[in-house]
């Protein structure tokens, strides 16, 4: 661990980032295939549009508090342990989805799924925040965000094709539940909470991971014993102190808007394509993929610019995300049987701009505070975001009206565009305080 020679090949932090992306992608399969197969599921067990909105509401309602709880548990017991629990819970919940027979079972399952599987994001992000410094955090988070952006692009096609050829949507859930073995092995064998825990870590790995703390004077280069204890001794942050920072409060509102936008796309785009354009199951999967493929490009582009061009100025790309998103939501709201070229433009534009903020804003809590408290900081942010998004699913469902026998989604998309305006206002308050300045100010406050 004290070697100073540079290792050839990909730095291990990127290996961990790739492993976490793969593991999270597999866990995200459930939400993707559940949403894209909803027309078939609804027909089979008798779900109404209101039931679908209620299911999304219950999942997000319990998913929100689980984020905060998992953040506290992650900071206390370690991210790897929480991730292993999350994978096991996901496999059980996915298999159960294939067994449901009634509306009541569906609603119970959605609530329990939300609470038990709401443990996958925060520990994954917490590991990345510690292995990466400010120079690479947005890109690392962007790679992780591909799990919920890129997965729907291929999983929606896979799920619809598998269900079509097997003539059984339940078969899709049984197959994917078995896939939980892969992330379980990857996390167990290849992921470490901290770089100093990795037996083959080299001096360059540690110097990189703790570059911010070394620059701030929190710790000395080369001294990597009891690292967490040293950092927390100088820069621990109590929960109430989070809200003294305007950037943190702004991130809470940005996350709310991002979750509303994401789940608006996940839940309602497949149903919109089916109800308004009359797309069949396989065709709907292909068109839904356009949104998410564009989203993967937008997310990586934004994070690269945030890290390399704007040098950690996260606000620029977050504002670009929201400002660029509104015109495409409005376009989608007003299509209603318009030509497919405009539909493709609307879906790709929404995907590209709507996912640009993930990498930049998810890095902010680690940079205005410290990665050592990222679990509880981001856990609260996501907890609020998902809870509010739960109610937004109910609002969207209520705004879908039937006109002359045809479902009209226009008001629902306008509702999401109004939420994006709130995101623009919130993003304007984000200022990333260099870690060294925050630590110095925190030490002064503590001394006072």
> Can you give the three-state secondary structure of the chain, one letter per residue?
CCCCCCCCCCCHHHHHHHHHHHHHHHHHHHHHHHHHCHHHHHHHHCCCHHHHHHHHHHHHHHHHHHHHHHHHHHHHHCHHHHHHHHHHHHHHHHHHHCCCCCHHHHHHHHHHHHHHHCCCHHHHHHHHHHHCCCCCHHHHHHHHHHHHHCHHHHHHHHHHHHHHHHCCHHHHHHHHHHCCHHHHHHHHHHCCCCHHHCCCCCHHHHHHHCHHHHHHCCCCCCCCCCHHHHHHHHHCCCHHHHHHCHHHHHHHHHHHHHHHHHHHHHHHHHHHHHHHHCCCHHHHHHHHHHHHHHHHHHHHHHHHHHHHHCCCCCHHHHHHHHHHHHHHHHHHHCCCCCCHHHHHHHHHHHHHHHCCCHHHHHHHHHHHCCHHHHHHHHHHHHHHHHHHHHHHHHHHHHHCEEECCEEECHHHHHHHHHHHHHHHHHHCCCCCCCHHHHHHHHHHHHHC
128 occurs within a structural domain? yes
224 occurs within a structural domain? yes
| Contact between 394 and 53 (Cβ < 8 Å) | yes
Overall number of domains in the chain: 1
2 occurs within a structural domain? no
91 occurs within a structural domain? yes
CATH of the domain at 361: 1.20.1250.20
Give the separation between CA 32 and CA 55, rounded to whole angstroms. 14
pLDDT value for 439: 42
Give the separation between CA 226 and CA 218, rounded to whole angstroms. 13
Neighbours of 407 (CB within 10 A): 15
Structural domain span for residue 235: 12-447
73 occurs within a structural domain? yes
How much is the CA Rg of the chain, to the nearest whole Å?
22
Give the separation between CA 418 and CA 377, rounded to whole angstroms. 27
Q: Name the residue among 339, 116, 133, 109 with its Cα closest to residue 218.
A: 133
Give the separation between CA 268 and CA 266, rounded to whole angstroms. 6
Listed as own residue / partner, the contacts of 222-226 with beta carbons closer than 8 Å and 24 or more positions apart are 222/2, 224/1, 224/196
pLDDT value for 65: 87
325 occurs within a structural domain? yes
pLDDT value for 448: 40
Q: Token pair of 171, please?
A: 């078969």
Q: Token pair of 89, please?
A: 């819970």
- Mean per-residue pLDDT pooled into runs of 10, the chain (448 residues): 51 94 88 77 84 82 87 89 93 91 90 89 92 90 87 78 85 90 94 92 89 83 81 78 92 94 82 81 73 89 90 89 95 79 91 92 88 88 85 84 79 94 95 51 42
Q: 3-state SS string over 338-363?
A: CCHHHHHHHHHHHHHHHCCCHHHHHH
How many residues make up the chain in this entry?
448
234 occurs within a structural domain? yes
3 occurs within a structural domain? no
Q: Does the pTM of the predicted model rise above 0.85? A: no
Q: With b meaning 16 or more CB within 10 Å and e meaning fewer, what string describes 328-345?
A: bbebbbebeeeeeeebeb
Tell me how far apart the terminal alpha carbons of the chain are, to the nearest angstrom.
Answer: 39
Beta bridge partners of 402: 407
Backbone angles phi, psi at 132, to 5 degrees: -115, 145
pLDDT value for 447: 40
| Contact between 255 and 382 (Cβ < 8 Å) | yes
């Amino acid at each position: 661990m004290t070697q100073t020679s540079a290792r050839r090949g990909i730095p291990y932090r990127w290996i961990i980032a790739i492993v976490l992306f793969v593991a999270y992608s597999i866990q995200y399969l459930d939400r993707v295939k559940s949403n894209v197969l909803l027309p078939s599921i609804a027909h089979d067990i008798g779900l109404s549009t209101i039931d679908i909105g209620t299911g999304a509401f219950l999942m997000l309602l319990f998913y929100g508090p689980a984020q905060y709880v998992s953040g506290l548990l992650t900071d206390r017991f370690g991210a790897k342990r929480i991730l292993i629990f999350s994978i096991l819970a996901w496999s059980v919940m996915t298999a159960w989805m294939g067994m449901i027979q009634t509306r009541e079972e569906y609603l119970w399952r959605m609530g329990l799924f939300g609470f038990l599987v709401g443990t996958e994001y925060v520990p994954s992000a917490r590991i990345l925040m510690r292995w990466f410094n400010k120079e690479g955090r947005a890109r690392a988070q962007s790679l992780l965000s591909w799990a919920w952006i890129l997965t729907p692009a291929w999983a929606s096609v896979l799920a619809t094709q598998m269900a079509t050829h097997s003539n059984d949507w339940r078969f899709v859930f049984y197959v994917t539940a078995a896939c939980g073995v892969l992330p379980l092995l990857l996390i167990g064998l290849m992921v470490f909470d901290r770089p100093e825990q990795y037996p083959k870590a080299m001096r360059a790995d540690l110097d990189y991971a703790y570059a911010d703390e070394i620059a701030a004077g929190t710790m000395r280069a080369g001294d990597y014993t009891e690292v967490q204890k040293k950092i927390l001794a100088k820069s621990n942050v109590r929960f109430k102190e989070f809200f003294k920072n305007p950037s943190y409060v702004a991130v809470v509102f940005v996350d709310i808007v991002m979750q509303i936008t994401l789940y608006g796309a996940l839940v309602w785009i497949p149903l919109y394509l089916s109800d308004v354009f009359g797309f069949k199951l396989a065709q709907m999967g292909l068109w839904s993929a356009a949104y998410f493929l564009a989203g993967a490009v937008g997310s990586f582009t934004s994070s690269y610019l945030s890290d390399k061009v704007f040098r950690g100025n996260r606000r620029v790309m977050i504002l670009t995300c929201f400002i660029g998103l509104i015109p495409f939501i409005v376009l989608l709201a007003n299509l209603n049987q318009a030509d497919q070229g405009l539909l493709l433009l609307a879906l790709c534009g929404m995907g590209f701009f709507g996912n640009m903020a993930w990498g930049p804003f998810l890095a902010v809590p680690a940079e205005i505070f410290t990665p050592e408290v990222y679990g509880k900081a981001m856990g609260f942010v996501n907890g609020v975001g998902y809870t509010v998004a739960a109610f937004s699913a109910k609002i969207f469902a209520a705004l879908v009206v039937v006109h002359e026998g045809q479902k009209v989604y226009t008001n629902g998309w306008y509702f999401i565009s109004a939420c994006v305006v709130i995101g623009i206002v919130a993003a304007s308050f984000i200022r990333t305080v260099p870690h060294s300045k925050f630590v110095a100010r925190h030490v002064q406050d503590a001394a006072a």
